[in-house]
Amino acid sequence: MADRPQLTCIQAHAMLTIATISAGRAQRAWLHVSQAVRIAQELGLHPNNAPLVALPSKARLLRARIWWVCVILDLHIAIGMGRPANIDQQDAEASLETILMLQRRLRADQNKQDEAGVPSSAAASSMASSAAAAAAAASLSTLNTSSSISSSPSSSSQQGTVVNIYNYLFY
């Protein structure tokens, strides 16, 4: 089992995808996102995967967020290059629903702990998670497909996007 890929492989390919988009290397970005998607599918990150149900909510949320980043990058590159997406649209829609459900569940658990007087850093973590998600979504929406999938050098807005997606992928 030592040769089985880890979540960090997907995170690395996602970051390489963003870096190569920023460097104007669309073909290489397409390859990196394709590898990230395939590894994510091999690890069962795609929606409706029964074995992931046994994981704690926080671990499932991280996996769902990593899958969602793969979905966004895949669609971004597919549209920019005029190629079909690697991920089925139904899987993309289901992954967003999963993320929202898990975030609501984590907030509800935190509220119960707060009411019981249990001190925890989960509230700050949940707020940071939501803020990172909003920042990543906003940053990705600012990426202009025509300029980001081209030979133009990276701009400061694209560099901000990389930071926001990094926070969303890892925290």
Residue 1 placed within a domain: no
- Among residues 134, 168, 140, 124, which one has the least CA distance to residue 79? 140
| Number of Cβ within a 10 Å radius of residue 124 | 10
Residue 130 placed within a domain: yes
CA atoms within 13 A on the CB side of 134: 7
- List the domain range (segments joined by +) for residue 151: 7-170
- Rounded to whole angstroms, how far apart are CA atoms 54 and 38? 22
Q: How many domains would you assign to the chain?
A: 1
Q: What is the mean pLDDT of the chain?
A: 74
pLDDT in tens, 11-59: 999 999 999 998 999 999 999 999 999 999 999 888 766 566 677 878 8
Residue 83 placed within a domain: yes
Residue 141 placed within a domain: yes
Residue 21 placed within a domain: yes
Average pLDDT over residues 76-97: 83
- Rounded to whole angstroms, how far apart are CA atoms 92 and 55? 21
pLDDT in tens, 128-166: 555 555 545 554 444 434 444 544 444 555 555 555 666
Residue 114 placed within a domain: yes
The answer to whether the pTM exceeds 0.85 is no
Residue 113 placed within a domain: yes
- Rounded to whole angstroms, how far apart are CA atoms 65 and 40? 11
Structure tokens at 116: 């019981």
